[in-house]
């Protein structure tokens, strides 16, 4: 589908990127130390003055927000009644692998009372069509909220050679079953978290759908533009960006702590 890459891979170059002259008085962009108010006010900076013109994918944003809200309601309820072993399989299993998809499906089946009241999606080779990306994303968000609400990252961790090697080795093996566009989206997100770990920390913990969340998303993308291939203009679905960045953040935290999971046994 023509619009699928925008939603799944988070970004798409919108037409030819024309090189623009830098303004005589460069604008001041928020960084990891900026207040929430400064981050939000940066959303009002004219896009043409930004190093990367971040635009929201309005054609998918409304639908994906509803999906996210419904899935989040499911996750908050389902995790409370799920056994930890199945939850670990769903969160830590290789994305798009049969046993991982089964674990997510098993959680849905066992917690039908928690699941969003909508008909099941048709079976498809596209993980988004089966809700895998959405449901995995909200499960990871809820796992962080329930079991690691204080999780943080900084550059001392994401650029530590031992932690970086652990992250690379683990994720190279773990992501071998992802479809190409799904893998590209995760790879870009992992790069964004490594480059901007403190902004990523704030983004993951910010209220979903809020102006603060959007401002932090813009700061994350602009500050991590090397991860985007130095594009001048990108269009993103903020909900799916949050899913992927949250997953990448989770994986970096796991690597930084030197553990297999943030989900306690029991």
The pLDDT of residue 177: 93
The pLDDT of residue 18: 32
Please give the mean pLDDT across all residues of the chain.
Answer: 81
Burial 42-73 (b: 16+ CB within 10 A, else e): beeeeeeebbbbbebbeebbeebeebbebbbe
Please state which of the ranges 7-11, 115-119, 144-148, 158-162 shows the lowest mean pLDDT: 7-11
* Whether the predicted pLDDT of 68 surpasses 70: no
At 31, is the pLDDT very low, low, confident or very high (cuts 50, 70, 90)?
Answer: very high
Angle, alpha carbons 236-57-14 (nearest 5°) = 70
190 or 17, which is more confident? Answer: 190
Tell the residue number behind the tokens 């029991």, with chain if given. 266
Using CA atoms, how far apart are residues 141 and 118, in angstroms rounded to an integer?
21
- Residues contacting residue 152 through CB under 8 Å, at least 6 positions apart: 198, 201
Q: Please, what is the angle between helix 180-195 and helix 238-257, to 10°?
A: 60
For residue 55, the SS3 value is strand
Q: What is the mean pLDDT of residues 82-88?
A: 88
* Whether the predicted pLDDT of 257 surpasses 90: yes
* 3-state helix/strand/coil string of 70-127: HHHHHHHHHHHHCCHHHHHHHHHCCCCCHHHHHHHHHHHHHCCCCCCCCCCCCCCCCC
Q: Distance of CA 162 to CAs 154, 166, 197, 222, Å?
A: 15, 6, 17, 27
Burial 151-186 (b: 16+ CB within 10 A, else e): bbbeeebbeeeebbebbeeebeebbebbeebbbbbb
The pLDDT of residue 30: 92
* Whether the predicted pLDDT of 123 surpasses 70: no
* Whether the predicted pLDDT of 6 surpasses 70: no
At 15, is the pLDDT very low, low, confident or very high (cuts 50, 70, 90)?
Answer: very low
- For 116, other C-beta atoms within 10 Å of its C-beta total 15
* Whether the predicted pLDDT of 25 surpasses 80: no
* Whether the predicted pLDDT of 69 surpasses 60: yes
Using CA atoms, how far apart are residues 90 and 46, in angstroms rounded to an integer?
42
Supply the DSSP symbol for 49: G
The tens digit of pLDDT for each residue in 225-241 reads 999 987 888 888 888 89
At 5, is the pLDDT very low, low, confident or very high (cuts 50, 70, 90)?
Answer: very low
The tens digit of pLDDT for each residue in 240-256 reads 899 999 999 999 999 99
Q: Among residues 199, 170, 217, 264, which one has the least CA distance to residue 56?
A: 217
Q: What is the mean pLDDT of residues 208-231?
A: 91
Using CA atoms, how far apart are residues 8 and 66, in angstroms rounded to an integer?
16
The pLDDT of residue 265: 87
Using CA atoms, how far apart are residues 82 and 139, in angstroms rounded to an integer?
12
Using CA atoms, how far apart are residues 115 and 70, in angstroms rounded to an integer?
8
The pLDDT of residue 120: 45
pLDDT above 70 coverage of the chain, percent: 76
């Amino acid at each position: 589908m023509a619009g699928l890459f925008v939603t799944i891979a988070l970004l798409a170059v919108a037409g030819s990127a024309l090189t623009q002259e830098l303004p005589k008085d460069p604008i001041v962009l928020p960084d990891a130390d900026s207040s929430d108010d400064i981050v939000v006010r940066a959303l009002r900076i004219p896009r043409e003055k930004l190093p990367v013109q971040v635009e929201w994918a309005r054609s998918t944003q409304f639908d994906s927000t509803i999906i996210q809200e419904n899935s989040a309601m499911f996750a908050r309820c389902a995790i409370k009644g799920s056994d930890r072993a199945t939850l670990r399989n769903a969160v830590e299993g290789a994305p798009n692998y049969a046993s991982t998809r089964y674990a997510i499906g098993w959680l849905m089946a066992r917690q039908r009372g928690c699941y969003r009241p909508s008909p099941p999606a048709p079976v498809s080779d596209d993980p988004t069509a089966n809700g895998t990306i959405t449901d995995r994303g909200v499960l990871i968000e809820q796992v962080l909220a329930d079991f690691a609400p204080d999780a943080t990252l900084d550059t001392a961790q994401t650029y530590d050679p031992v932690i970086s090697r652990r992250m690379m080795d683990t994720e190279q093996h773990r992501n071998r079953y992802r479809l190409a566009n799904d893998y590209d989206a995760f790879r870009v997100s992992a790069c964004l978290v490594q480059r901007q770990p403190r902004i990523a920390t704030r983004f993951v913990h910010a209220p979903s759908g809020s102006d603060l969340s959007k401002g932090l998303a813009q700061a994350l993308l602009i500050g991590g533009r090397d991860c985007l291939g130095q594009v001048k203009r990108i269009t993103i679905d903020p909900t799916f960006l949050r899913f992927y960045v949250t997953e990448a953040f989770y994986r970096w935290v796991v690597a930084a702590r030197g553990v297999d999971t943030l989900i306690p046994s029991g």
